[in-house]
Structure 1
Amino acid sequence: MFEIPRTIFSEEHDMFRQSIREFVKKEVSPNNAQWEKDKQVSRASWSKLGQNGFLCLQAPSEYGGMAIDDFRFNAIFTEELGLSGCAGPTIGYSLHSDIVFPYLLHYGTEAVKKKYIPKMISGENIGAIAMTEPGAGSDLQNIKAKAIDKGDHYEISGTKTFITNGYLCDVVVVAAKTDLSLGAKGISLFLLDASMEGFAKGKPFEKVGLHAQDTCELFFEEVKVPKENLLGKEGEGFSYLMKELAQERLIVALAALALAEFMLQSTVEYVKGREAFGRTISEFQNTRFKLAEMAAKVEQARIYCDQLVLLHNDKKVDSAMASAAKYMMTELQCEVADECVQLHGGYGYMWEYPVARAYADARVQRIYAGTNEIMKELIARKVLK
């Protein structure tokens, strides 16, 4: 679809893209409909991802990883999944490798790294991150989950909700208050194992979209967590979250753009074959103009995101930049979804058509990883600095 060459990628990147594309075509796309019915991706698919070396690309070799210090590979992974239109797997796989894993790598003790990273690489352990609570969404400073220092361990209690990969997770990064009186400065991060006593999972939610993505509540009732499972330092959790959220939001932006491109391409194919009043829908001026508008926006967005990927490779993407990307790309995804459904007519509202599922999947993108209203606030802070 794009006429402008994507010069940020080398031949090695192109080879990796082709391997991901073939994997998605063989292992993801044919199974997505069943996963939507199951409300979760199969564990077998996670194992196959691990066997192919597609998980936790930055993991050091001493833990069995590929030690790939190049975010462009991560971007390709997320993009190719999104281009398949399989939004649930796109979000779940990327969250595991690009959002959860970095907390272990950057802040985990050596004992935690040795115990859990190899299993995250292989797909044996599926990762999740638990920040949001029933009474605290984007307002992380107001979380109520608490972690009490018991001398030789911490005791964690609380409830987390809307947890992506929650039902399947084996390990989860949990934000909890080690000091309830200090607000953001009282937040610490812990790595919990789903086998720990007092850790329970709710049933997968009945969501409007992302049906193949397991999302649920997590419950912690006096869970005993070893001291070594504290990630980083006590009271530094909020600063760690703010630092790592930049990559999380960039990943959401990349997924949103790829899924928008998938919808646009699906619609182009549809209007070329659908006839009305004796000619194809693609011959009507309104259709042509709508497609032109979307194509121009998507192409510009791709160039913008490619530049951000390069900047992130050099660790130059700050919170405001990532927030702008997340805000813009998810808004664009929803705009494209709406226009593409309209161009499909009544068929666009039928679940059997990919654009209908993509429409349902798109809406939540403007909510999680920080609502787009919060994104605007973070952008404004930099603008008014």
Structure 2
Amino acid sequence: MDRGVFGDEHEQFRIMIRKFFTDEVLPDYPNWQEHGMPPRWFWKRAGELGILGIGVPTEYGGLPDSDLRYSAVVTEEAQRLGFALGGLRIHTDIAMPYFLEYANAEQRARWLPGLVSGDSVVALGISEPGAGSDLKAMSTRASRDGDAYVIDGSKTFISNGGGADLIVLACKTDPSAGRNGISLIVVETDTPGFKRGRRLNKLGLHAQDLAELSFTDMRVPIENLLGNENDGFSMLTFNLAQERLSIALNSQASARATIDATVAALAGTSPDQRAKFALAACRAETAAGQALMDSSLEALIAGRLDPLDAAIAKLYATELHGRVVDRCTRVLGLSHYNADDIVGQFYLDGRVSRIYGGSSEIMKVIIAQGFDFRKAESA
């Protein structure tokens, strides 16, 4: 299929990324799964290769003339080998835009070079125990005290939380104002009062860092406030289209990789018609999904991807992934229903994509809001 969304520069970048993943990451990946996170050498090497500088101005060390298409290449190459690199996408696609959009000149100079080089890893701290991503129910508080905020509370299910150097932390600065009283404050994790909790033993994504965090009388300078106080809710929603498309691109790439791995596992056999038909359905639906992902990616680059279209992309790709891995595991049989098998790994790693970044049900709510159910006025 001639996709058209990528140019020669992206394909040259792909060659470099494929070599990096195959030669350097693949041999060490079992250690990542054992320890529950990528090692620091990975972040430094990713910085050297420009992966962490995608979309960042060159004055801070960013990759020149780069956008989400480069991240899409990284995602596709990671999924080709079955790597769970959601923490990398958190760093580049989801958390980095907050610094690019809302950090002032001093903050950019202070934080961006380290984020681009891999000396600093960033996490986004939103979800809380008992509240999930319900911003109105957020209990983490930041109280102004002179030249600092004093922060108390906790977060959970935080990607990169176990190894992050910086946390873009959502907290209530005006508890009486609901979602209009939320601010984003950048927390350096060597700050007294910051504590990492237990490592979460997830169903899948064993190489991806996910942690609990807590804050007790943690004093953070007011200079670490991103944007304006109490503007956090609007700030958190500005990047939702890219966040959801990033998740969709990962699910789409995983679906394609699952089909390839299934066909490879069947090499030298004589699959029956049932298996062939199941794979044919997977291939057709995945081809449709690829067209949707590529058009959505082009729309995002052009500034035309709205929240509804991003919801459509995420809903389709994540649900597609679920259908593909279900069919492929049934085609391959019981011997592939384990985490040591790459298809089984795709099955386990992909399930949560229908939950984070907004569940499939939330995506349907957003999409349904685009319908006009009012009766047409009579002439």
Scaled by the length of structure 2, the TM-score of the pair is: 0.95
Give the drift of 1:351.
2.9
Q: Is the 8 A contact 1:242 1:319 kept in 2?
A: no
Aligned to 2:19: 22
The answer to whether structure 1 residue 166 and structure 2 residue 154 are counterparts is: no
Offset from partner CA, 1:208-249 (integer Å, 9 cap, x none) = 000001101111112111111111111111111111121111
Cα distance in structure 1, aligned partners of 2:184 and 2:303? 23
Aligned to 2:370: 382
Aligned to 1:189: 184
Aligned to 1:124: 119
Aligned to 1:296: 284
Q: Is the 8 A contact 1:111 1:228 kept in 2?
A: no
1:34-53 to structure 2, matched below 5 A, reads: 34-53=31-50
Offset from partner CA, 1:293-340 (integer Å, 9 cap, x none) = 000011110011000000000111111211221111111111111111
Q: Is the 8 A contact 2:68 2:93 kept in 1?
A: no
Corresponding residue SS for 1:163: strand
Cα distance in structure 2, aligned partners of 1:66 and 1:150? 39
1:183-262 to structure 2, matched below 5 A, reads: 183-262=178-257
Cα distance in structure 2, aligned partners of 1:68 and 1:155? 40
Q: Is the 8 A contact 2:53 2:61 kept in 1?
A: no
- Percent of aligned pairs with the same amino acid: 39
Give the drift of 1:143.
0.9
Cα distance in structure 1, aligned partners of 2:67 and 2:88? 18
Q: 1:271 aligns with which of 266, 270, 292?
A: 266
Q: Return the letter of the residue paired with 2:356.
A: Y
Offset from partner CA, 1:136-179 (integer Å, 9 cap, x none) = 12322221111111131111111110001110111011111111
Give the drift of 1:69.
4.3
Cα distance in structure 2, aligned partners of 1:369 and 1:216? 17
Corresponding residue SS for 2:150: strand
Scaled by the length of structure 1, the TM-score of the pair is: 0.94
1:69-108 to structure 2, matched below 5 A, reads: 69-87=66-84, 89=85, 91-108=86-103
Cα distance in structure 1, aligned partners of 2:57 and 2:275? 50
Aligned to 2:376: none
Q: Return the letter of the residue paired with 2:362.
A: I
Corresponding residue SS for 2:175: coil
Q: Is the 8 A contact 2:51 2:63 kept in 1?
A: no
Offset from partner CA, 1:192-222 (integer Å, 9 cap, x none) = 1101111111121011000001101111112
Q: Return the letter of the residue paired with 2:69.
A: R
Cα distance in structure 1, aligned partners of 2:135 and 2:202? 23
The answer to whether structure 1 residue 320 and structure 2 residue 308 are counterparts is: yes
The answer to whether structure 1 residue 352 and structure 2 residue 340 are counterparts is: yes
Corresponding residue SS for 2:363: helix
Cα distance in structure 2, aligned partners of 1:167 and 1:123? 15
Aligned to 2:296: 308
C-alpha RMSD of matched pairs (Å): 1.4
Q: Which runs of 4+ in 1 moved over 4 A?
A: none
Q: Larger deviation: 59-68 or 10-19?
A: 59-68
Q: Which runs of 5+ in 1 are unaligned?
A: 275-279
Q: Larger deviation: 136-145 or 92-101?
A: 136-145
Corresponding residue SS for 2:129: coil
Aligned length: 373
Q: Return the letter of the residue paired with 1:313.
A: I
Aligned to 2:328: 340
Q: Is the 8 A contact 2:339 2:348 kept in 1?
A: no
Give the drift of 1:82.
1.9
Q: Is the 8 A contact 1:108 1:229 kept in 2?
A: no
Cα distance in structure 2, aligned partners of 1:381 and 1:217? 34
Aligned to 1:277: none
Corresponding residue SS for 1:273: coil
Cα distance in structure 2, aligned partners of 1:47 and 1:149? 35
Q: Which runs of 5+ in 2 are unaligned?
A: 374-379
1:356-367 to structure 2, matched below 5 A, reads: 356-367=344-355
Cα distance in structure 1, aligned partners of 2:284 and 2:172? 46
Q: Return the letter of the residue paired with 1:62.
A: E
Aligned to 1:176: 171
The answer to whether structure 1 residue 13 and structure 2 residue 10 are counterparts is: yes
Corresponding residue SS for 1:147: strand
Offset from partner CA, 1:242-267 (integer Å, 9 cap, x none) = 11121111100000110111111000
Cα distance in structure 2, aligned partners of 1:212 and 1:228? 34
Q: Return the letter of the residue paired with 1:95.
A: I
Corresponding residue SS for 1:105: helix
Cα distance in structure 1, aligned partners of 2:90 and 2:65? 17
Q: Is the 8 A contact 1:341 1:356 kept in 2?
A: yes
Q: Return the letter of the residue paired with 2:309.
A: M
